[in-house]
Amino acid sequence: MKTLRLLMAVAFLFSLNVATAQKKDDKSKSDKTEKKEDKKDDKAKKEPVVDTDPNEVANGSFEQYDAKILKGKGQLHLACKPWYTVNKTGADLFASGNTKNKKINAPENDLGNQIAQDGNNYAGFIAYSKDPKVNRTYLSQKLKHTLKKDQMYCVTFSVCLAENSKMAVNNVGVLIGSNRIQHEDDKSITTPPTIVMPANRPINDMDKWTTVCMYYYAKGNENFITIGGFGNDGDMKFEKIKGAVKPAAGGVSVNGAYYFVDNISILPITAKSECNCGKSTVVETDFIYSRSGAKPAGAKPEQLVAATAVYFGKESEYIPAQFESELDEVAELLKANPAIQIVLTGHADTEEMEEAKVRTEMVEIAKRRAESVMEALVSRGVDASRMSIDSKDANELANTKGTPMGKAQNRRVVFSVK
């Protein structure tokens, strides 16, 4: 009996040790699993966040800011990174819900009442002041990346003249450069801006945002932008605001021009049509080039044919009416000389070929121009078998200048004898 009890006691102790060992083993496995999970979490935390936004301007709508730092005027550079101030006096940040200081609240503040163009917040700067004690202010930042050489970018920003401004001015824009501009005191930047309103007119709209967008070909070393009023005071165009009213209670009057700014971007584009601010404020004249109609005296029929060319309007394959008589003459010449066979070569300007990268209807514009001329000659009695079509797109420019007239000279179909 004693032996049986002893055996039972030994078995109990053995099972107890096994259970204890199992618990320790389970706890060890659990600890290892937790450590692995912790390592995974730490690894995930350490992995950098990839910025997929193609906008080269960081925080272009001023939505990311430190509310604890923002206490008053001139603190954009302190509370809204990576923006910084060029002068000793900084630009302003107007933030939604800033009840502690209504002077820098959005939409209503001491300079007027303006809803943000994008998001809830916006910045503000003094573009010009008649008061010699009040200096211009600027906002600036280093871009995410240095702009790529020969890459086309669409530069966009929205501005609105503050309600309490007594004047509107021009030369309000964006300066793109390779060097950081930094003044120890308050100075005006006299360098002309890179991007301004079309025709560089004074921006006088107080009721809504004015969006400015222009394409820009990068030189390849630009990595800073600065926004504000540029040039010497004497170079600016001024416009007095008619019917300016006295600021509301708590507001301040600006004896000059103060602008709100929002939604700033620099985006890489392929064609100019991608840089679209909506309704264009400036329409480029559609030039149609026309060279002298005088033919070489005593020229042979082949020479007269080779001297013929038809020019086209922008993005058009339709023959302008002014070339109908010239086509009549060359058709008669070809019918009178049936042995002559010709090649019609279509050309385009560089902007049209840029558009072809994003617009399928522009891909064969040069070829279709040549086809249009061929059809016109066939309709005048010239046998189609005597003509062939070629296309050079924008690979053989007649004029390398980027002027409207220079581009018009490139939109053509030229004749050559086989």
Predicted confidence at residue 199, as pLDDT, reads 84
Percent of the chain with pLDDT over 90: 70
SS3 130: coil
User: How is residue 203 written in tokens?
Assistant: 């921006």
> The domain at 76-274 falls in which architecture?
Sandwich (2.60)
Domain boundaries, the chain: 76-274, 301-417
**pLDDT at position 280, please?**
43
Task: Pick the range with the lowest mean pLDDT from 45-59, 82-96, 222-236.
Answer: 45-59
Instruction: Report the share of the chain in percent with pLDDT over 70.
Output: 83
pLDDT band at 369 (very low <50, low <70, confident <90, very high): very high
Q: Is residue 4 predicted with pLDDT exceeding 60? A: no
pLDDT in tens, 258-291: 999 999 999 999 988 888 765 444 445 578 888 7
Burial of 212 (0-12, 13-18, 19+ CB in 10 A): buried
What letter represents residue 60's amino acid?
A: G
Report d(CA 141, CA 153) in Å as an integer: 17
Q: Across the chain, what does the average pLDDT equal?
A: 87
Q: pLDDT by residue (tens digit) across 120-143? A: 999 999 999 999 999 999 999 999
Q: Which of 253, 256, 252 is nearest to 240 (CA)?
A: 256
The Cβ of residue 227 has, within 10 Å, a number of other Cβ atoms equal to 28
Identify the pLDDT of residue 249: 62
pTM assigned to the model: 0.68
When pLDDT is averaged across residues 403-418 and rounded to a whole number, the result is 93
pLDDT digits (tens, 9 = 90+) for 20-38: 555 555 555 555 555 555 5
Domain 301-417 in CATH 3.30.1330.60? The answer is yes
At 237-254, the pLDDT tens digits run 999 998 766 776 668 999
Mark 85-116 as b/e (b = at least 16 C-beta within 10 Å).
bbbebbbbbbbeebeeeeebbbeebbbbebeb
